[in-house]
Amino acid sequence: MGEDNAQPKKPAARKPGRVVFIDQARAFALTMMLVGHSLHHFLGEPWRSSNAYNEYQFFRGITSALFLMVSGFSFVVASFKYWDDYTSYSPRLMARMRRIGYILFLAYLLHMYGGTLAQMFSWHTPAKMEYFLRFDVLQNIGMGLLILHAAAFLIKKIEHFWKAMLVLFAGIVVLATVTYDPAVDADLPIWLAPAVNMYHRSLFPLIPFTAFMIVGAFFGYFFWKGKQKGTDWKAMIALAAAGLAFLLVEYIIRNQISGGVFPFAVDIAKTPGNTFARCGCAMLVISTLYFVEKFIVILPRLSLLMSKDSLAIYVVHLPIIYGGKLGIMQAYRQDMTPLQVLLYIASLFALMILLAYVINYVRKKYPMAQNKIRRTAILTWCLMFVLWPKVDMISFSMSLAVAIFFMMDGHKKSAGKLRTYLDDLKKKRRPAA
Q: Give pLDDT tens digits for 288-331.
A: 999 999 888 888 899 999 999 999 999 999 989 987 766 788 88
Q: What is the pLDDT of residues 319-372, one digit of tens each?
A: 899 877 667 888 888 889 999 999 999 999 999 999 999 999 988 888 888 888
Query: Where is average pLDDT lowest: 87-101, 168-182, 260-274?
Result: 260-274
Residue with the bigger pLDDT between 102 and 416: it is: 102
pLDDT exceeds 50 at position 264: no
The mean pLDDT value for 154-169 works out to 94
pLDDT exceeds 80 at position 221: yes
Kindly give, in sequence order, each residue whose CB lies less than 8 Å from that of residue 389, ignoring residues fewer than 6 positions away: 116, 118, 119
At 398 the pLDDT is 92
Q: How far apart are CA 89 and CA 338, in angstroms?
A: 53
Q: Taking the mean position of all CA atoms in its chain, how far away is CA 280?
A: 20
pLDDT exceeds 50 at position 5: no
The mean pLDDT value for 201-225 works out to 94
Predicted TM-score (pTM) of this structure: 0.86
Q: How far apart are CA 331 and CA 324, in angstroms?
A: 9
How far apart, in Å, are the Cα atoms of 188 and each of 181, 184, 320, 348?
11, 7, 35, 40
Q: Where are the domains of the chain?
A: 50-298, 367-427
The 3-state DSSP class for residue 361 equals: helix
DSSP per-residue string spanning 164-220:
HHHHHHHHHHHHHHHHTSHHHHHTS-TTTHHHH-STTS-SS-HHHHHHHHHHHHHHH
Q: What is the pLDDT of residues 68-109, one digit of tens each?
A: 999 999 999 999 999 999 999 999 999 999 999 999 999 999
